[in-house]
Structure 1
Amino acid sequence: MKQLVRKLMVYVISLSLVRCLIKIFLFCFQSVEAFISLCSISLKFPSNTTVRSHYSTIITYSDRISLGKHVWIGRNCILGGIGGIKIGDFVRISPGVVIQTRGLEIHQSNEIPYPSKAKPICIGNGVWIASRAVILGGVTVGDYAVIGAGAIITKDVESHSIVVGSPTRCIGKVKRKTLQYELYDI
């Protein structure tokens, strides 16, 4: 009798867990605006691109975001794609990065600021964006650039540049040799 009760309990618990997982999965995909939410999943995009993401990554207006091959997006990232985001091949976006195409206008008067027009963001091939960096609308990041942790990018970044800080400044160049990168001073 004890074995029967144990088997019944295991069955009930398993069934409850499956139902819970189905509800979480359906919740993740019910919103048109955010397709990654509250769960850990891998999504496939056109041209053999796989984006591995985590439960707390938020991507809005996904239909306006274009991804290249082998893009990796870490946890706690926010990609606000209303103005359009183009990400090249072999791009690594570290945890906590914010890529936002729209900002706020600040007026001279006492008016409440309203959202400004969204501006597109273009990120080249082989770019590495370190943790907690922020990239704002209207920016183009050149190929093989490195954006340091916590940098706030408001202007274009040249190819092969290493930029850090707020305001950002270039501290070096990246030279590509086969599969390795070499740092050298400007």
Structure 2
Amino acid sequence: MLEELRAIQRALQVDKLKKFKRRVSFGDLMTDRWENARQYGFGEGSSCYDNVLILGDVTVGKHTWIGPNVILDGLGGLTIGDHCSISAGVHIYSHDTVRRSVTLGQEPIEYSSTAIGDGVYIGPNTVIKRGVRIGDRAVIGAMSYVASDIPAGVKAWGCPARVMGDVEL
């Protein structure tokens, strides 16, 4: 049976390479990104790779792309708008255990809702801290750490992310 499964995987990989010039995990070969998003209750036309970790209450709008290896932590509530691109490896948090850890368990886990507006692009391997709000049509550069709110219509990047100018449409 294992050999049959491997043969199916090889055939699916060859097909994926021919059609899309990409190689994906076994889970993504066996599932449909748009069906994954529908099963999570995400908006019409949104897609979500099979290897995305989704925790808690996550709401995603229409036509939003969630890339591979993303973490969407909705334990404190997470909302992502319409027409967003959440690039590969992005982590978006709505809780942390910092105070609980450094107080040896005396303080509780902290939760704060996090919100991403409509038309937001978040570059690869970016981390967004709990409680952050990112305004509509903002662009966050790759490998940024977003520790505070980002207004609408700006581009920001860095560690910590800072506003670097306006998005040019």
How high is the TM-score relative to the length of structure 1?
Answer: 0.68
Query: Pick from 51, 59, 63: which aligns with 1:56?
Result: 51
Contact 1:80 1:101 in 2 (8 A): yes
Rate the CA distance shift 1:60–1:13 in 2: closer, same or farther, 3 A.
closer
Stretches of 4+ aligned residues off by more than 3 angstroms: 112-115
Structure 1 residues 126-137: aligned runs within 5 Å: 126-137=119-130
Alignment partners' CA distance in 2, 1:83 and 1:67: 15
Report which of the two structures shows the higher radius of gyration computed on alpha carbons. Answer: 1
Counterpart of 1:91 in structure 2 is 84
Counterpart of 1:111 in structure 2 is 104
Q: CA deviation at 1:113?
A: 7.5
Alignment partners' CA distance in 2, 1:46 and 1:52: 9
Q: CA deviation at 1:49?
A: 3.7
Contact 1:95 1:132 in 2 (8 A): yes
Alignment partners' CA distance in 2, 1:156 and 1:13: 49
Residue identity (%): 32
Q: CA deviation at 1:117?
A: 2.0
Query: Pick from 69, 73, 77: which aligns with 2:70?
Result: 77
Q: CA deviation at 1:115?
A: 5.5
Query: Pick from 109, 114, 126: which aligns with 1:121?
Result: 114
How high is the TM-score relative to the length of structure 2?
Answer: 0.74
Contact 1:105 1:114 in 2 (8 A): no
Q: CA deviation at 1:137?
A: 0.9
Structure with bigger helix share is: 2
Across the two proteins, how many residue pairs are aligned to each other?
Answer: 145
Give the counterpart letter for 2:73 in structure 1.
G
RMSD: 2.9
Alignment partners' CA distance in 1, 2:84 and 2:118: 6
Q: CA deviation at 1:112?
A: 5.1
Rate the CA distance shift 1:38–1:59 in 2: closer, same or farther, 3 A.
farther
Alignment partners' CA distance in 2, 1:82 and 1:122: 13
Counterpart of 1:166 in structure 2 is 159
Alignment partners' CA distance in 1, 2:106 and 2:89: 26
For structure 1, which runs of at least 5 residues remain unmatched after alignment?
A: 1-11, 22-36, 176-180, 182-186
Q: What is the SS of the residue equivalent to 2:89?
A: coil
For structure 2, which runs of at least 5 residues remain unmatched after alignment?
A: 10-24
Alignment partners' CA distance in 2, 1:99 and 1:169: 17
Alignment partners' CA distance in 2, 1:150 and 1:122: 19
